Amino acid sequence: MDSTPMPEPLRRAIHHLVSESVQNCQEVLRYTEPDQAHTWKRMTLYPATDAADTIDMMAQLIAAYCEHTNMDPHTLQNRLHGGAQQLRAHGPMKRTARTWRA
């Protein structure tokens, strides 16, 4: 196993992206409050998708670094869990929609 520490520029970028994603998630929480009833649908989806996009960007940045440093392509693909992703653009799945009705 490689014991080389993460390069400082990559570490700073990851910290920035995680902070940005957390801020978006906090905004989602803010719009779940009862006084936000008039805007919650719109104002929870925007920051939620922004947070997801930011996390994806972070994963791709790490993957690009791993690829640049000659990580085995098969290992990289396994660690990205590409087969487990679902495109948000396709809309909610029936299973997801049932969750809130329970």
Which tens digit of pLDDT belongs to each residue from 30-64? 999 999 889 999 899 999 999 999 999 999 999 99
The residue with greater pLDDT, 88 or 70, is 70
Radius of gyration of the chain (CA): 17
State the pLDDT at residue 95.
56
The residue with greater pLDDT, 1 or 7, is 7
For the chain, the average pLDDT equals 86
Burial of 25 (0-12, 13-18, 19+ CB in 10 A): middle
Encoded tokens for 44: 């929870």
- Residues 28 and 30: their CA atoms lie apart, in Å, by 5
State the pLDDT at residue 67.
95
- Residues 54 and 65: their CA atoms lie apart, in Å, by 17
Helix (H) or strand (E) holding 74: helix 73-80
Domain boundaries, the chain: 8-99
State the pLDDT at residue 81.
80
